[in-house]
Amino acid sequence: MRSQNAELKDSITNSIMEKMDEKLIPVIEENKKLKTKVEKLEREIEYLKRAEKNNNIVVFGLEENEQSSTELIQKLKETFNLDMNIKIEEYDINKIYRLGNRKSDRNKTRPQLKNGKRKPKPTKESANKETKKKQQTPPSRLVLEGESDHNPPTYKDNSYRKSVIYIAALNVLTLGKEEYLMELTYALKSIKWDIIGLSEVRRMGESITCYLDFLLYQIGETQGQYGVGFIIKQHLKQYVEEFIGISERIAILNMKLPGYKKLWSIVQIYSPTEQSNSVTINNFYQNLNEAIQKHTHENLIVMGDFNTNRSKTLRRKCNTRNSYFTNFTVIKRFNFNTNHRLIRTELQMNEPKKTRPRQDLRNIKLNEQQLEQITTALRTELRDFKENTKELETQDKYNYMENAIKTQIKLIADTKIDAKGILSTATVNLLEERNHLINERNIQNRRQKLAEISKDVKESMRKDRKQRRKLRNNEERTKQR
C-alpha cells in the first residue's frame, strides 16, 4: 500500500509539474525577449549619451596654408600625433574651421576651432553618410557666428510675444520694512503679473530699486503714511520710458509697449478717504487732473485705491474701450497681509485694429422721394457750374460734378425716411393711441384694448400698402405713355 501511495504521489506531482512547465514556457520566453530589448535600449542610451558630449578645442599657432577643410584636418592630426602623442581619427572630429576674417587677419595665423564628439567607431551606413558630407564643397569662409562675425545675426527680443500683459493694483497697507517686501514677492509667485501699482507703500523718499526679478519704484513724503509705487518685471524694464512722482498720492509710469505705436501711461493713485475734509479731497483731484493733462499720453490707465464706492455709470465708462482689455478679475485668496483685494486686468500686447467707417454709395437703394430730393438739390448746387469751372480742365470738371453728386446722395441717404409719407394719418393715429396704452398702466381692460388696436393697425397698414401699389402702378403707366 505504501509503495502504491508513493507511486501515485509521484505521478500526480510529475503531471502537475509538467502542466506548470507547459504554462511557464511562454512566460519565460517573453521574459528573455524583454531582457534582450532592455539591454538593446540601454546600449542605445549609452551611445546617445556619448554622442551628446561635445568637446570644443581652440588651437593657436597652426600655419594657414591649407586649401580646404580636409587638408586642415590632416594637418591637425599630424600635429596632435607628433607633438602630444594623441591619435585622432576623422570620425572624432565633427567640425573644424578658422576663426576671424581672412582679409583683416592677412598677416596673422587665425586660430582653429575643433568641435569633436565622443562616439564609437562608425558603421558602414554612418561612414557612407560622413563621406557624403565631406564630399560636399565647403563654403568660401567659415566663421564663428556671433560678435566676431563681420555680419552678425540680428537677435529679436521674444519677451513681447506674450499675448497679454497682466496689470494689477493692490493696497499693501505697508512696505516699510524689507520683510514685508519679501512677503509680497513670495505671494506674487502664485499668480500671473507683469505690472502692479502699489498704494500705502509707506516708504520715505523717491527711488528706483532693481531687484533680481523686478523693478521697484516708490515715492513717499510723510513718515509712516501714504506713499505709492510700482513693481515691474525685468522683461518689461527696457520698455519703461520714465517714472514721474507727482506726490505721495500720485505716481505715473510711461511705457513704450512693442505692440503699440503710441505710449501708454499708467497712473497709480491713493485717494483720500471720504472722512477727509473737502480741501484735501479737492486738492487731490485737482493735482490728478493737472498730472493727467501734462504728463500722460493718449493710452491711459488710472488705477489704485480710490477709497470710494463704484457706481454703475463708472462701470459703463470703463467698458468703452474693452477691446484693449481681455479680462478683469478680483483675486480674493491672495496670500498677503492686507485687508484689500488685488484687482487685475489683461492688456493685449498687440494693438487691436480699428475698422474704417465707410459707406459704399453704389449699394444704396433710393426711393422715389429721395431721388426727387437729390435732383432738386443738384439743380441748386450745379446752378453756377459753368462759371465755377471756366478755368478748370475736363477731368477737374468731372471730379467737381462727381463730388457734388456723392455728397448729395450721402446726405439724403443718411436722413431717416418720414413714416408719415408712407403711412396714412389714420394708421399714425392708431400707433400713437397704442403707444399711449402701452405707457399707461392704470387703464381697465388694457390688454384687450391693446389686442384690438393691434388688429386695427395691421388692417390699416394693409390698406396703406394697397394704396401705395396703386399709385406706383399709375406712375409707371404714365411714364410708359
Q: Does residue 190 belong to any structural domain of this protein?
A: yes
Residue 167 contacts residue 347 (beta carbons within 8 Å):
yes
Q: Which pLDDT does position 125 carry in this prediction?
A: 62
Q: Given phi > 0 = left and psi -120 to 50 = alpha, else beta, which region is 95?
A: beta
**Predicted confidence band of residue 402 (pLDDT cuts 50, 70, 90):** confident
> Are 250 and 368 members of one domain?
no
Q: Are residues 399 and 301 located together in one domain of the fold?
A: no
CA distance 334 to 328: 16
Q: Are residues 108 and 67 in the same domain?
A: yes
Provide the 8-state DSSP code for 236. Answer: G
The better pLDDT of the pair 446, 412 is held by: 446
Q: Highest mean pLDDT range out of 83-87, 147-151, 293-297?
A: 293-297
pLDDT exceeds cutoff 70 at 423: yes
pLDDT score of 306 more than 50: yes
Residue 101 confidence (pLDDT) above 70? no
**What ranges in 53-150 are assigned the alpha helix state H?**
69-83, 124-135
Q: What is the pLDDT of residue 420?
A: 47
Instruction: Supply the CATH number for residue 309's domain.
Output: 3.60.10.10
Residue 2 inside a domain? The answer is no
pLDDT, position 248 = 95
* Mean pLDDT score, 86-113: 66
Q: Would you say residue 341 lies in a domain? A: yes
Q: Residue 445 sits in which domain range?
A: 363-480
Residues 313 and 415 in one domain: no
Question: How far apart, in whole angstroms, are the C-alpha atoms of residue 283 and residue 250?
Answer: 12
Q: Are residues 377 and 308 in the same domain?
A: no
Residue 160 has pLDDT above 50, yes or no: no
Q: How far apart are CA 204 and CA 227, in angstroms?
A: 8
Q: Which residues pair with 164 in a beta bridge?
A: 348
290 vs 440: CA distance, rounded Å: 50
260 and 380 housed in the same domain: no
Residues 339 and 375 in one domain: no
pLDDT of residue 77: 81
Predicted confidence at residue 304, as pLDDT, reads 95
| H or E element in which residue 450 lies | helix 446-480
Q: How many residues does the chain have?
A: 481
Look at 3-7, 39-43, 359-363, 456-460 and tell me which has the smallest mean pLDDT. Answer: 359-363
Q: What is the percent of the chain with per-residue pLDDT over 70, rounded to a whole number?
A: 77
In a domain, 10, yes or no: no
Question: Do 308 and 213 fall into the same domain?
Answer: yes
- What's the pLDDT score for residue 172? 95
Say whether pTM exceeds 0.75. no
The DSSP secondary-structure symbol of 352 reads P
The SS3 call for residue 310 is coil
Facing residues of 56 across strands? 115
Confidence of residue 317 (pLDDT cuts 50, 70, 90): low
Q: Is the same domain home to 165 and 291? A: yes
Domain match, 71 and 125 both: yes
Q: Are residues 274 and 403 in the same domain?
A: no
* CA neighbor of 241 nearest in space, from 296, 172, 284: 296
The more confidently predicted of residues 81 and 270 is 270
**Does residue 268 register a pLDDT over 70?**
yes
On whether the CB atoms of residues 237 and 255 are closer than 8 A, the answer is no
Is the residue at 7 inside a domain? no
What's phi and psi for 300, nearest 5 deg? Answer: -130, 135
Q: What percent of the chain has pLDDT over 90?
A: 30
The overall longest dimension of the chain from CA atoms, in Å, is 146
CA dihedral 191, 196, 198, 203 (to 10 degrees): 100
432-454 pLDDT, tens digit each: 888 888 887 778 788 888 888 88
pLDDT band for position 1 (cuts 50, 70, 90): low
Residue 280 has pLDDT above 90, yes or no: yes
Is 367 within a domain? yes
Please indicate, yes or no, whether residues 122 and 186 belong to a single structural domain of this protein: no
- Tell me how far apart the alpha carbons of residues 59 and 110 are, in angstroms, rounded to a whole number: 9
pLDDT at 202 over 70: yes
Could you read off the pLDDT of 340-395 as tens digits, one per residue?
A: 999 999 999 888 877 766 656 556 666 776 777 778 888 887 887 888 888 888 88
Domain boundary among 316, 348, 380: 348
Classify residue 149: in a domain, yes or no: no
Q: What is the pLDDT of residues 223-249, one digit of tens each?
A: 999 999 999 999 999 999 999 999 999
Task: Tell me if 68 is assigned to some domain.
Answer: yes
Question: Count of domains in the chain?
Answer: 3
- State the number of CA atoms in the 13 A half-sphere of 173 facing the CB: 10
